[in-house]
Structure 1
Amino acid sequence: MKRAIYIAMLFLAACKKDDTAQPDNSANRISYVIADNLFNFSSFNTVLERTGYIKKLSGDGPFTVLVPDNNAFIKAGYANSDAVRIESGTVLNNIVSYHILSGTWELNKLPYTFNQELTTDAGAKMYVTHWVKNADTVVTINGTRVLAYNLAAENGLIQVMDAVLQPLVNASLSDAIAADTALTFLNVALQQADMKTMLAGSDVYTVLAPSNNAFRKMGYSSIDSVNATSPAILKDMLYYTMFQGRKFIYDYILTTDATDKSQQSMLNGNNITVRLIKTGVQYTGVTLQGSGNTGTINVIKSNVLTGNGVLHTIDQVLRVNQ
């Protein structure tokens, strides 16, 4: 229904022409369509105004623009256009450049497969999934749902996003962990276990990264206590926090059956249990449980994309049943 509303609204906007006000015949171009739908897109329009990308999206293109709606900006911490207006220009430039593709990409016509690599107009990588869940055809980008796709403008297409996509900042998982102050215990553990190089290479991994508080809950009171732990013990623990391949949280929602529960094989050969979280009729996330954990583990930060994988931060250390 939400997709149908977006299509109707943008169709009406595209039909509104004023040849006097738009002598360059650009009334149906992407920048105009966004500006004419401020009820849904005022925050993204403010980003375009602040960064000067309005001029680019008024050009010939063609472009495919991934437009987070206002609810997506609210989820990202921007309550309204005024909050966007006071954000750093550098941050806004990074955001908007990651939401523009060269050419017309009809995302619902891509092959039915997971995490197909596309490149933004600025040269950054993103990953598109096209899949069927029950009776719904779903398109996601970096694990974020596309609410409405292939909305036509004169110079390209608009895809409406459920969240503001986070630009790829770190070249490697190793760099991303080192840069996150909530993961300093993990970073030291990786150094002590001689695993930093592994997460800095070309092999792709997904890491379920225990936060600093997760280490404290497990009995590591300080970084010194991590350093004092045998590298072999740390390596055994850390191999249960990662697996090869790139996996976003929504990938589990798309692949889990009616039991709402699945198993994920980890690098040490053991499994963890992944359970879907449902709010009303919508799946909104997952919880995790290691074979040695007595309770569920929550994902507190998800879908951090790096050049060689994906990072999810969790609130407890995954444990193997001994």
Structure 2
Amino acid sequence: MKRNLLLASLLLFFSCKKDDNQPAATNRNNSLAYVITDNKFNFSFFNTALTVTNFGNTFFEKGPYTVLIPDNNAFQQSGYSTEKDVAVEKGSVLNNMVKYHTLNGIWQLDKLPFRFNQPITTVSGAQLFVTHWVRNQDTIITINGTRVTALNMPASNGLIQVINTVLNPLVQDKLSDAVAAEPTLTYFNVALQQAGMKDLLRGVGPYTIFAPNNSAFIAAGFPTTDSVANTDPAVLKALLQFHILANRRFVYDYALSTDASGQSQQTMLNNSNTTVNLINNGDNGITIQGSGNTQPCQLVKSNVLTNNGVLHIIDNVLMENF
């Protein structure tokens, strides 16, 4: 009798034990997948990406996961006018996108330390950078320099954080690669080579580059890339160091770190200062100016993320007064 009871108990144990090779069950009626699908007014573009890639099935699993969801307006600002535009996007692009917006585990971003650009690894293996800071008595959270607009929406298997921009997954590993891949930075890339600074931008960093585009170099007196290549390397090195900052700075970081004057100074690699001005209190970006510039330099492209820093492209060469 005892032997039969023991066998029955063992059979009951193994029949109830979870199969580790199967997705763990969760409450489907309150799962991340359900919450995302149910919020069609805000999340239908992201849900379309999940449907096309079949990645949405992941959010029925136990997880837990934290999903960073760009709202519909964010998708439209990123060039996807309708859900159909998302549906016809390349599968590889959407797959990279949804994985870059997904984190393993529960991430209550408002519980992070008050610090700039704290690295977090996504399920794709790539990093993103979270800032938790106080501005004008308001607590602000950004991811890769973009605002988090709604925090900690709960689901049975995780959390949703809503953001106002579609995050761009890393395309280039290093800043050196990002510069070389950008067709408007041919002159700047030649200058880096001539100055022997390519290895610096292949290093650990982090660095922030304000790179003048080709038109900026031409306006500064370099009519061709050959004219750059024929310039004294020491001269180019001094010039380039005035365009590089020894930390990671997204555009909105300046809005968080600048006082009511709307202006701040930052020390570049050559130990000289540039002036950063907020546009519309930082909500419309920044300009940057050297002591020798008569007008501020405008950003024509910003927040290009790599593993060792951030690249911004500007429309003029930063100049110093000597």
- Whether TM-score is above 0.5 comes out as yes
Confirm whether residue 72 of structure 1 aligns to residue 74 of structure 2.
yes
Which residue identity is paired with 2:220? M
User: What are the within-5 Å matches in structure 2 for residues 103-252 of structure 1?
Assistant: 103-252=105-254
Q: Are the equivalent residues in 2 in contact too, given 1:128–1:142 (CA < 8 A)? A: yes
Partner of 1:302: 302
Partner of 1:20: none
- SS of the residue corresponding to residue 29 of structure 2 reads coil
Equivalent of residue 33 in structure 1, options 8, 32, 35 = 35
Distance across 1 between alignment mates of 2:292 and 2:220: 12
Which residue identity is paired with 2:106? T
Residue 26 of structure 1 deviates from its aligned partner by 0.3
Distance across 1 between alignment mates of 2:256 and 2:99: 28
The answer for unaligned runs of 5 or more in structure 1 is 1-22
Which residue identity is paired with 1:257? D
Q: Are the equivalent residues in 2 in contact too, given 1:35–1:45 (CA < 8 A)? A: yes
Q: Are the equivalent residues in 1 in contact too, given 2:26–2:62 (CA < 8 A)? A: no
Counting matched residue pairs gives 298
Q: Deviations over 1:97-130 (max 9, x none)?
A: 1000000100011111111111112211111110
- SS of the residue corresponding to residue 151 of structure 2 reads strand
Confirm whether residue 82 of structure 1 aligns to residue 84 of structure 2.
yes
Partner of 1:7: none
Residue 88 of structure 1 deviates from its aligned partner by 1.0
- SS of the residue corresponding to residue 284 of structure 1 reads coil
Residue 24 of structure 1 deviates from its aligned partner by 7.5
Which residue identity is paired with 1:293? N
| Structure 1 residues 228 and 103: alpha-carbon distance in aligned structure 2, compared to 1, 3 A threshold | same
Q: Are the equivalent residues in 1 in contact too, given 2:262–2:277 (CA < 8 A)? A: yes
- SS of the residue corresponding to residue 165 of structure 1 reads coil
Q: Deviations over 1:243-285 (max 9, x none)?
A: 1111111111001001010001111111011011117xx7221
| Structure 1 residues 224 and 26: alpha-carbon distance in aligned structure 2, compared to 1, 3 A threshold | same
User: What are the within-5 Å matches in structure 2 for residues 279-290 of structure 1?
Assistant: 283-290=283-290
Q: Are the equivalent residues in 1 in contact too, given 2:26–2:60 (CA < 8 A)? A: no
Partner of 1:101: 103
Q: Are the equivalent residues in 2 in contact too, given 1:210–1:316 (CA < 8 A)? A: yes
Q: Are the equivalent residues in 2 in contact too, given 1:70–1:80 (CA < 8 A)? A: no
Distance across 2 between alignment mates of 1:221 and 1:68: 42
Residue 219 of structure 1 deviates from its aligned partner by 2.1
Distance across 2 between alignment mates of 1:80 and 1:177: 32
Distance across 2 between alignment mates of 1:278 and 1:229: 39
Which residue identity is paired with 2:302? S
Distance across 2 between alignment mates of 1:141 and 1:294: 34
Q: Which moved more, 1:35-44 or 1:95-104?
A: 35-44
Q: What TM-score do the two structures reach when normalised by structure 2? A: 0.90
Q: What TM-score do the two structures reach when normalised by structure 1? A: 0.90
Distance across 1 between alignment mates of 2:223 and 2:73: 39
Q: CA RMSD, aligned part only?
A: 1.4
Structure possessing the higher radius of gyration over alpha carbons:
2
The answer for unaligned runs of 5 or more in structure 2 is 1-24
Distance across 2 between alignment mates of 1:181 and 1:31: 40
Partner of 1:314: 314
Which residue identity is paired with 1:254? L
Q: Deviations over 1:164-210 (max 9, x none)?
A: 11112211110111111111111111001110011101232111111
Distance across 2 between alignment mates of 1:151 and 1:39: 15
Identity of counterpart residues, as a percentage? 54
- SS of the residue corresponding to residue 79 of structure 1 reads coil
